Copies of this chain bind each other. A is one copy, B any other.
C-alpha cells in the first residue's frame, strides 16, 4: 500500500473538520474521503479502521497546535505566552473542538481514553519542564493549576464564550499568572 505523508496529513485535517462539524458519530472513513475530496476508499488505505483513525487524529492535533518559533520568541513572559496560546486556539477552533469530541469518545472507548491521557500527561510534563527550565516565575504545582485554568477558559471560550461576558479575558490571564505563578511561592 503506497502512502504519502502529505496525503495522510490532508486526510487527518479533513477528519478534524468532520469531527468538529458533525461530532464523533459523524466521523466515518467515507465522510473523511468526501471532506478531503478524494476517491471513496482512500482513507481506508491509510487507516485500518475508525479506532486507528481516532488515534492518528490525536497525534495530528499535536502537530497542528505546536507553537510556531515566533510564538516562543522575545523576552519570555508567561502572560504573553498565554495570550498567544489563546489566539492560536481561536485560529484553530476545529482542532480544539475535535479534541473535545475525542475526549467524549474516550469516555466510551477505554483504549482511546488511555492514549489520550498518556498524550496529555506527556504534554503537561513537557510544559512544566519547559517552564521551569526557562526560569519563569512559579513552581511545578502552579504550572499544573495554570494548565487547568487555561483548559477551563478554552472550553468556555470555544463552546459558550458569552459565559465570561463581563470578565475580559486579558484581565483573567493577567491575574491567573500573578496568583498561580508567584515570584516567591509560599511553601
* Chain B residues within an 8 Å CB radius of A100: 100, 103-104
User: Is the Cβ of B120 less than 8 Å from the Cβ of A160?
Assistant: yes
A-B interface, 7 closest residue pairs, ranked by CB to CB distance from nearest: A151-B152, A148-B152, A117-B162, A103-B159, A152-B152, A25-B25, A117-B160
Interface residues of A (CB under 8 A from B): 20-26, 97, 100-101, 103-108, 113-114, 116-118, 120-121, 124, 141-142, 144-145, 147-153, 155-156, 158-167, 171-172, 175-176, 178-180, 182, 186
| Identical chains bound together, number | 2
CA distance A159 to B101 in the complex (A): 10
* Chain B residues within an 8 Å CB radius of A167: 141, 144
